[in-house]
Amino acid sequence: MSDDFVLPVELPKIDPHRLQRVRTLWVGALCSVEEVIVQDTGSYAVLKQMHPEHRSDPGLAARCINEGLILQRLHMHQRVAGIPQLLKMGILPNGCPALLLERLGDALAEQLSAFDAQTKPDAQAFLIDLGRQLTQTLSLIHNQGIVHRDLRPDNILFSHPSQRSKEQRFPDAYVIDFGLAKVFDREVFLPVSTGEEDLLGTDLYMAPEQWESAKHVTGSADVYSLGVILYQLASGRTPFSHPKRNVLMYQHMVSAPPPLPSYIPSALGAIILDMLRKRPSIRPSAKECTERLLALC
């Protein structure tokens, strides 16, 4: 760790003594996420902070800061559905950038094992509603010149039970973790280099073109990743899976997904399979997916 490392932008200080730690929610290679209580207000929040051992890497620090800038941009004019609210972006006493975010509920990943689209009541209606919510959110993200590049069940959270009304049939869904996002408006964000052959994303959910180069993907790659997630919910498994990475890559790039179960309505199945088309130019946009899913509600 370099003691004279200077962050690429000036950030306000975040005083950890004003945050009461409740529990650790997640620990990753770059960051950790903790549930905290903000002592000034008594409200719950989430603190996402970069690990100190990465503090000397300006590229990783820039990705953390850019995530906060992305959230600020998406909420620039008004709070938007499907995107977590950024409460504060700053720097901790150890020199690491951190984000203070609104607290949300469980991740979709925690519900996958119990989800059964064939027998669980309202499962197919939930699947359609979830697809509608997430395609609307992706459309908003893409319209702002942002590609998420790592959409997966761990990065989809639901509203906290305390945020839901009794009349609400399904929880609100949120897209989180913009640490690998691609932004087209370079003037607004800190420079981060993505190589021509860099692979960014999560193997089970990466679009064919993302296996070739994460640098040049468009919003269509996010549509594909969401198609994998909806396929997984509908069938109980991802369309492609193999322990060898090169085989999994071949499946995503060449193989047709297995047919969906017969209990999935044909119109819903057609949307999911269209989202999984190999060529990004013939996949529907997020907005087109929303319109087709709304017709099924």
Asked whether the predicted pLDDT for residue 4 surpasses 70, the reply is no
Angle between helices 123-143 and 286-294 (to 10 degrees): 150
Q: What is the pLDDT of residue 8?
A: 52
d(CA 71, CA 100): 11
Strands 31-38 and 182-183: unpaired
Q: What is the pLDDT of residue 132?
A: 97
**Average pLDDT in the 186-202 region?**
59
**Average pLDDT in the 94-113 region?**
93
Whether 150 is catalytic is: yes
Give domain limits for the chain.
16-102, 108-294
In angstroms, what CA-CA distances link 2 with 5, 6, 55, 97? 5, 9, 8, 15
Share of residues in the chain with pLDDT > 70 (%): 92
Beta bridge partners of 36: 21, 45
Q: Please report which confidence band the pLDDT of residue 30 belongs to, taking 50, 70 and 90 as the band edges.
A: confident
**pTM for the whole structure:** 0.90
**Average pLDDT in the 25-34 region?**
90
Q: What is the pLDDT of residue 65?
A: 87
Strands 156-158 and 146-147: unpaired
pLDDT tens by residue, 245-282: 999 999 999 999 999 999 999 999 999 999 999 999 99
Q: What is the pLDDT of residue 11?
A: 83
Angle between helices 266-275 and 123-143 (to 10 degrees): 30
Q: What is the pLDDT of residue 2?
A: 40
Q: Please report which confidence band the pLDDT of residue 5 belongs to, taking 50, 70 and 90 as the band edges.
A: very low
In angstroms, what CA-CA distances link 168 with 97, 110, 160, 267? 36, 21, 13, 25
Instruction: State the fold for domain 16-102.
Output: Phosphorylase Kinase; domain 1 (3.30.200)
End-to-end C-alpha distance for the chain, whole angstroms: 53
Q: What is the pLDDT of residue 244?
A: 96
d(CA 240, CA 99): 34
Q: What is the pLDDT of residue 184?
A: 82
For the domain spanning 108-294, the CATH number is 1.10.510.10
Given the residues 150, 154, 198, 222, the one annotated as active site: 150
Run of H or E residues at 91: strand 86-91
d(CA 116, CA 176): 24
Name which residue leads in pLDDT, 294 or 120: 294
Asked whether the predicted pLDDT for residue 28 surpasses 90, the reply is no
Q: Is 194 left (phi over 0), alpha (psi -120 to 50) or beta?
A: beta
**Which of 28-32, 132-136, 199-203 has the least mean pLDDT?**
199-203
Asked whether the predicted pLDDT for residue 123 surpasses 50, the reply is yes
Asked whether the predicted pLDDT for residue 55 surpasses 80, the reply is no
